[in-house]
Amino acid sequence: MMGVSRRGFLANSALLALYGAASRPASAASASLPWRNWSGGQVAYPAGRIEPATETELIDFLASSQGPIRPVGSGHSFTGLVPTDGQLIVIDRLNGLLDYDSDTLEATFAAGARLGDTGSALEAVGQAMFNLPDIDRQTLAGATATATHGTGLEFFNLSGYITGLRLVTSTGSVLDLDAEHQPDVFDAARVSLGALGIVTRIRMRNRTPYRLKQRSWIMPIDEVMEQFEDLAGSHRHFEIFPLTHSDYAIALATDETTDAINNPEPSPEEAAAFDEAMASFAQVPPEQRKPLVNGLAQQIEPSERVDVSYRVLTNIRNNRFNEMEYSVPRESGAECLREVLATIEEKKIDVVFPLEYRYVKGDDLWLSMSTGDEDHAAISIHRTAAEDYRTYFNTIEPIFWKYAGRPHWGKLHSLGRAELTRLYPRFEEFLAVRKELDPQGRLLNDHLRFLFGEMGSG
Ligand SMILES: Cc1cc2nc3c(=O)[nH]c(=O)nc-3n(C[C@H](O)[C@H](O)[C@H](O)COP(=O)(O)OP(=O)(O)OC[C@H]3O[C@@H](n4cnc5c(N)ncnc54)[C@H](O)[C@@H]3O)c2cc1C
């Protein structure tokens, strides 16, 4: 069998071949068009969709209407943040670069801009974002509402770079927030879960454009965990994708470079070779799978690519999946990850999807998963969309709790107000700001009511 690259391994269609097409929940009878998130795990039947072409249109709608509303970005959250039977507020038409400052290296985007559209727009004005998450399909408003992050000890999640934003409240009031204007509301609104109002524009701190070289290779998991601190400290970005029922992880190191651009597309032949191998593993019980996965892992060839920052930092993920991610204090990260991997093996959990393990810098945003002085280790587990994720996720989630893990707001978890108040020192203050800005609870849905312990309101 030919060698396979890490990009092929993570992005190709093998898992889809293993488990069939992504699930499509049965549609219920409804007069309205159904809404589904990216994974298909969340479905809603909103009464309607409001798609304002201008901020004024949005303000007029909010000031003149009543009833439940929920803002939606590109629907890439796995949790029930968006579903509503009221009006979905879609701000796709509010996009594009609005303003920039070449001295402070700040830029303001309309908040419906997709991350994938910001790279070239910023490059054209001599700027680039410091970091990006794994994909670039999210809107700026949606990504920052859940503290979406990339990897790297020197880098905040995306919300950590916001220097100002415009929030239109559920009654149509306009708040221009920054460190000087209502700083507390600003700190709450930088990671808002879409619970404070509709964000229509976001100003971010950037840097000058840069090029990155990304290398990936396979490493024994014990070895990479021993060296993780050194590797994370010596590369601009370093992360691993531990393979389940295996002794190996895929390592990914990314650094600034001035080398020439060389970013070949992953080869379809590699994907096919991988598909073939993985399809045969599906027939084998998990406890007998290790030699096979190890054998395949050893054939994964190192790869390298060079491109402008925003093309290297993000990927295309074709296989639909559901995900749980918790951020644990960095010093507990390795132990927590080892326990998760050992549990998958001991309990013979039938999962082939790799985990993801990465560091994020500590910050001072009220609802950031990395809030506080410590850096955090984000640990993700995945299940293809066609499978029932509940048994797997329910088995692993208590391990994250043991290590004081904070759940990613956009990824599946089961925590409510009592636990969240313990994990987030400013959680109750956030709830107070929420009540002040949206006293009628127009922005609440079932998921938010559960998170906020407000089951009776709205
Ligand atoms: C394939 C995949 C890869 C991912 N990779 C990463 C990753 O590397 N790192 C990471 O941290 N996360 C990652 N995520 C999670 C994802 O980044 C977050 O869930 C993000 O919030 C999704 O953004 P969205 O634009 O799709 O927003 P949605 O999921 O549509 O909405 C998210 C939240 O934003 C709110 N919102 C949307 N628009 C507005 C607005 N205008 N005003 C106020 N609130 C608003 C919504 O109400 C909701 O609460 C990934 C998800 C997927 C599916």
pLDDT digits (tens, 9 = 90+) for 43-53: 999 999 999 99
Q: pLDDT, tens digit, for every residue of 218-247?
A: 999 999 999 999 999 999 999 999 999 999
Amino acid present at 284: V
Tell me the C-alpha distance between 363 and 360, whole Å: 9
Neighbour count for residue 218 (Cβ, 10 Å): 22
81 CA distance to ligand 1 centroid (A)? 9
Closest Cα to atom 51, ligand 1: which residue?
Answer: 76
Q: Cα separations (Å) of 304 from 14, 126, 213, 261, 355?
A: 22, 26, 7, 11, 21
Atom of ligand 1 nearest to the CA of 75: 30
Q: For residue 27, is pLDDT > 50?
A: no
Atom of ligand 1 nearest to the CA of 196: 43
Tell me the C-alpha distance between 275 and 280, whole Å: 9
265 versus 84: which is more confidently predicted?
Answer: 84
Give the global pTM.
Answer: 0.93
321 CA distance to ligand 1 centroid (A)? 15
Phi, psi of 351 (to 5 degrees): -135, 135
Amino acid present at 87: Q
Atom of ligand 1 nearest to the CA of 139: 25
Tell me the C-alpha distance between 77 and 11, whole Å: 19
Tell me the C-alpha distance between 122 and 264, whole Å: 23
- How is residue 159 written in tokens? 């919300």
Mean pLDDT, to the nearest integer, of 386-394? 96
Q: pLDDT, tens digit, for every residue of 299-356?
A: 889 999 999 999 999 998 888 999 999 999 999 999 999 999 999 999 999 998 999 9
State whether residue 144 is helix, strand or coil: helix
Tell me the C-alpha distance between 158 and 145, whole Å: 10
Q: pLDDT, tens digit, for every residue of 118-148?
A: 999 999 999 999 999 999 999 999 999 999 9
Please tell me if the CB atom of residue 82 comes closer than 6 angstroms to any atom of ligand 1: yes
- The sheet with strand 48-50 has its strands ordered as 48-50, 87-90, 69-72
In 3D space, the residue among 191, 248, 203, 224 whose CA is nearest the CA of residue 100 turns out to be 203
393 CA distance to ligand 1 centroid (A)? 20
Tell me the C-alpha distance between 238 and 78, whole Å: 25
Give the model's pLDDT for residue 271: 73
